[in-house]
Amino acid sequence: MQIKRISSNSDIVKIMEELSVDKPGIKIMSKKSEIYFFYIKDLHIGAANILKQDALSVGADLALPNGAITCSFKKCDALLIGTKKHIEILSRKELAQPYGLKELARELKRYIKKSNFELKIMGVINANDESFYPRSRFKGERALEAIEKMIEDGADIIDIGGVSTRPGSDEVDENIEFERVKDIIDFIYRTRLFEQVNFSIDSYRPKIVEYALDRGFSIANDITGLENDEMAKVVAKYGVKVVLMHKKGEPKTMQIDPRYEDVVLEVAEFFKKRIEKAEKFGITRENIVLDPGIGFGKRVEHNLELLKCLSNFKKFGCEILVGASRKSMIDKIIPTPVEKRLPGTLAIHLKAYEEGASIIRCHDVKEHRQAFAVYERMR
C-alpha cells in the first residue's frame, strides 16, 4: 500500500470520477472537500449560543470569545467553520431560529451558491498621455496596431479609455475625451474587429459610452459604478454588460489618507446598492461585473484584504473583475519602477483568479495568457 497527500486545490470531483465513484456519491462527497470560514460581526449573544450548539450538532464549529456562554455581553463577533455540506444543513436549521438567525441563514445560502465563469483576459488601451504606465499609451495608428497585437496575443476583451483616472489625475473635458476615442471606435466598427474580440469602453460619460455601444462595443466600464442615472439608462437600452467599480472619493484626492472600518464589508455594501439600482433600470444580474477598485481610494492593506477576500463578493452571482496591473501597491510592497512590475502583477492576478475573479484587466496580454495557461494546467 502507498499513500500520498492531495493538494487542497486539486479537482476532487475529477479524482473521484477517475476512481469510478458513483455520481450520487461524488455529489455528496464533493461538498465535504472544501472548508468554509465565515466571520460574523455583531452577533446577538443569544444567537451566538444557539448557532454554536447547532454548528456542533452538524459537525461544524463556531469560535466565540470568552464569556459568550455566560452571556457576559449583548453582542460579539464569531468565526463559523464548516464544509459546504455543514453550511447547507446549518442554513436550513437556522431558518427556524430567533435573534436574526433567519437572515444569517439566507446570507449563508447566498455564499455557498456557486457561480462559475470562464477566465477572460482584458487588455488595456489608453488613448491619452496621462496614464501612469507610459507603454500603455496609444494614440492614432499606434492604438490600432496595439489592438491588433492584443487580439493576436489572445485578449478576450480590449478596454479603450480616453482619460486617466489614476490617483492625482485631473478631470478631462468630455469633448477632449470624445475626440481621443472617436477615431478608434470608428475604426473598430468599420473593420468589424468587434466580431473577433469584445470591446469595452472605459468611461463614466453616457454620451461617449452610447457612441461606443452603438458601434459594436459590448461592455461599459464605469468607474463610478452607475452613479449617473443616464448611464444606467444607456446600458439598459443596449442590453450590454456593465462594470461597477468601487472607489472612495475622486481621482484627484482619493489616495489622501483613505480609511475604512472594514473595507470588505464597505465594498460589499456598495455593490449591493449599485446592483439594486442597476436592476431597477432593467439591467440583468448576468450583465453586471463587479470591480473592487484596487488602488482607487485604498491603502496597500485595503487592497490586500480585498484580494484575499474576493470570494466574499461571489455571493452576488456576478462576474468579478480585478485590475492591478503594474499599480503602485507593488512598489509599496517592494520598491520597483512601473516598467518592472510585471512579476508582481502576475502574482496579484493569479491570486485574484484563485479567489474568484474571472476577468483580469492588464497591460501585458501575452504574458498573462502564458501564466494562466500554466496555472490552469497545474490545477
Phi-psi domain of 73 (left: phi exceeds 0; alpha: psi -120 through 50; beta: other)? beta
Q: Are 263 and 298 in contact (CB under 8 A)?
A: yes
Number of CB atoms found within 10 A of residue 118's CB: 8
Q: Are 208 and 201 in contact (CB under 8 A)?
A: yes
Task: List the catalytic residue out of 205, 248, 274, 361.
Answer: 361
Q: What is the rounded end-to-end Cα distance, in angstroms, of the chain?
A: 26
CB 60 within 8 A of CB 82: yes
* φ, ψ for residue 97, nearest 5 deg: -105, 155
Cα 321 to Cα 55: distance, rounded to the nearest angstrom: 34
Told to judge if 351 belongs to the known catalytic residues of this protein, a careful annotator would answer no
Q: Please say if 361 is a catalytic residue.
A: yes
Say how many C-beta atoms besides its own lie within 10 A of residue 185's C-beta.
Answer: 24
- Alpha-carbon distance 207 to 211, whole Å? 6
- Cross-strand bridge partners of residue 83: 35
Q: Is there a contact between 12 and 30 (Cβ–Cβ < 8 Å)?
A: yes
Catalytic residue among 205, 326, 327, 341: 327
Residue pair 122/360 in contact (Cβ under 8 Å)? The answer is yes
What positions carry a catalytic annotation? 327, 361
